[in-house]
Chain A
Amino acid sequence: MAPISPEALSALPSGINLLEGRLFQANQMHEAFRVLRAEAPVHWNPGTDRFNGFWSLVKYEDILHVSKHPEIFISSKGIGGSGLRETPPGQSGGSSSIITMDPPRHVKMRRLVNKGFTPRAVLQLEPKIREITNTILNRIAHRDSCDFVLEVSSQLPLAVICGMMGLEEEHWPLMFDLTNQILGSGDAEYQARVAPDKVGTFEGATLTAADGNRRMNGFFREILEGRRIHPRDDDMVSILLESEVDGERLTEGDIVAFCNLLVVAGNETTRNAISGGLIALCEHAEERARLQDQPDLMPTAVEEILRWTSPLHHMTREATEDQVIRGTEIKAGEKVMMWYPSANRDEDIFDDPYHFDITRDPNDHLAFGFGEHFCLGAGFARAEVRIMFEELLRRFPDIRVTGEPERLRSNFINGVKHLPVTFTPER
C-alpha cells in the first residue's frame, strides 16, 4: 500500500490543490487521491485569479456517471490541460477538434476517421508496428544504456501516428517537440522558446503552448496545401480533406485542429504508458518474472499497465444544469474534473488496488475514459504497448531502470521526460 505521510494527512483534505503540477511531478497524487476518496469524494478545489475553481471527482462510479451523460456534462467549454482556461489552447480561428465537441456533432466528426482506428485497422498495421519497434530497438542494441523515453518509448507512437497522417520522417522530430510544447507547456524543460525570465512562470507556460499550437497549425496548413496539389488517398489528412459533415466539407481550420489533436494525442499518451509500464515492471520483480516466463500473459499485463499508469490524469467537463453527485450539489456552469488515476485505484471497484497484478481480472479501468469521448486510439495504444514489451523483453530481458524517472510537471499528462536504463547489449 502506498503510505500517506503524516504531513499529508494533517493538511487534508482542504490542503490538497490539484491545480499544482508539482504534486504530480513528485508522483504523490495517489496519496492525495486516496485521502480524497475516503474523506471528500466530491471535493471543491478553489480557483485562482487565473483559473476557475472546479469540482474534483475521484470515485470510479461518479466519473462513469459524468462520462455517460455528455449532453449534461459538456466538453465544448474546455477539457482541462495545463490549466482551466475557458478556451482550450491550440484552436485556430474558432475551430475545435472532436475532443472539445459535444453531441451530436462529435459523433459525426468522429466517424470520419474511426474506420482508421478499428480492430481490423490495428490488426493490419500490427506487422508494421512490430517492424518499427525492432528498428527502434536496433538503434540501441549495440549499447548498454540509453534514455528510454527519448530513444524508445516516444519513438514508437510517434512513428505510428505520423505514418498514419502520411508525414515524412524528417518532420517527426518537429511533431515530437511541438507535442511536448503543447501538452508539457507547464514544464520548464519545454519552455526553451520563451524569454529566460519567463521560464517556469504561468506566462511562460501560456506562451509555450500558444507557440507550439501556432507552429503545429501552421505546419498542417502547409501539409494541406501540398495535398491539394498532390492528392493522396492513403492517409488521415487526405481522408479529412475529402470528408463532409451534414453535406458540407470541413473547413481548413477544422482539418488543422483535427490533425493537431491526432498527432498530439497519438504520440504523448502511449509514450507514457510504455515508460510507466517499464517503471512498474522494474518495481514489481515478481510480476515481471511471471510475465517473462509466460509471455502469453501480455494482454492482461497491458491492461494492468494502463490501469497502473493512467497516462491521462484528468478530463474536465462543464455542467449545463444543476446536478447532485453523491449528495453534493453541482451548479450549472461549474466545472467538474474526472481524475482517472483515482478511479483506477478505487477500493470499491478494484480488489487490492495498490497491487500491480498482471493477471488482474476483471480490469475495467478508465484509462481511456468512457462513452462519447472514449479514446479513439485505444486499439493502437494497446497494440503498441503490447508489441513494445513483447520485443523489448525478448531482446533485452535484463533491462532495468537505473535512476529516478524525471517526471513532467503537469496535472494533465502523467508524463515521464527521461528514464535512464541499462541492459546487456545484443552480441
Chain B
Amino acid sequence: MARQVEVDHNRCEGHGKCVLAAPEVFEHREDDLSHVLVDDVPEALVTKVDRAIRVCPRQAIAWRD
C-alpha cells in the first residue's frame, strides 16, 4: 500500500537534513520549512525517507498512519 509522509511545521526549523537524505521527496521553501513534494512515496524511495525521518534533528517527520 502506498504510504504518505508528513512534516510537522510546528517542529521543523529548516535544518535541511531531509532534503539531503531524500531530495526527491522533501523541498526547502521560501518559508524556511521543509515541504513534501509527493502524495505517495514510491517504493524505491522508502529507504531514503526512513533515513530522513531518522536524521531529522527536530523529529519533525513521520509516516502518516
Contact = CB atoms under 8 A, between A and B. Distances in A.
17 contacts: A68-B59, A107-B10, A111-B10, A117-B13, A118-B13, A119-B14, A119-B15, A119-B16, A119-B32, A120-B14, A364-B54, A368-B57, A370-B57, A371-B57, A371-B59, A374-B58, A378-B15
A253 interface: no
A237 B38 CA distance: 40
Nearest to B20: A362
Contacts of A379: 15
Contacts of A119: 14-16, 28, 32
B39 to A, nearest CB: 26
- Range, interface on chain A: 10 to 19
A387 B15 CA distance: 18
A119 B54 CA distance: 20
- Please indicate which of the listed interface residues A111, A117, A374 has the most CB atoms of chain B within 10 Å of its own CB: A374
A114 interface: yes
Interface of B: 10-11, 13-16, 28, 32, 54-55, 57-59
B26 to A, nearest CB: 13
A379 B15 CA distance: 7
Contacts of A369: 57
Contacts of B55: 364
Contacts of B59: 68, 370-372
A118 B32 CA distance: 7
Contacts of B11: 107
A166 to B, nearest CB: 22
A378 B57 contact: yes
A378 B50 CA distance: 23
Contacts of B10: 107, 111
B31 to A, nearest CB: 9
A371 B15 CA distance: 12
Contacts of B28: 119
Contacts of B15: 119, 374, 378-379
A371 B14 contact: no
Contacts of A107: 10-11
Contacts of B32: 115, 118-120
A302 to B, nearest CB: 14
B58 A371 contact: yes
A361 to B, nearest CB: 10
A376 B16 CA distance: 14
B18 to A, nearest CB: 13
Nearest to A67: B59
B62 to A, nearest CB: 12
Contacts of A374: 13, 15, 57-58
Nearest to B59: A371
A115 B11 CA distance: 12
Contacts of A372: 59
Contacts of B16: 119
A223 to B, nearest CB: 26
- Across the A-B interface, the 10 shortest Cβ-Cβ residue pairs: A118-B32, A374-B57, A120-B32, A371-B59, A118-B14, A119-B14, A114-B13, A364-B55, A374-B58, A370-B57
Interface in A362-414: 364, 368-372, 374, 376, 378-379
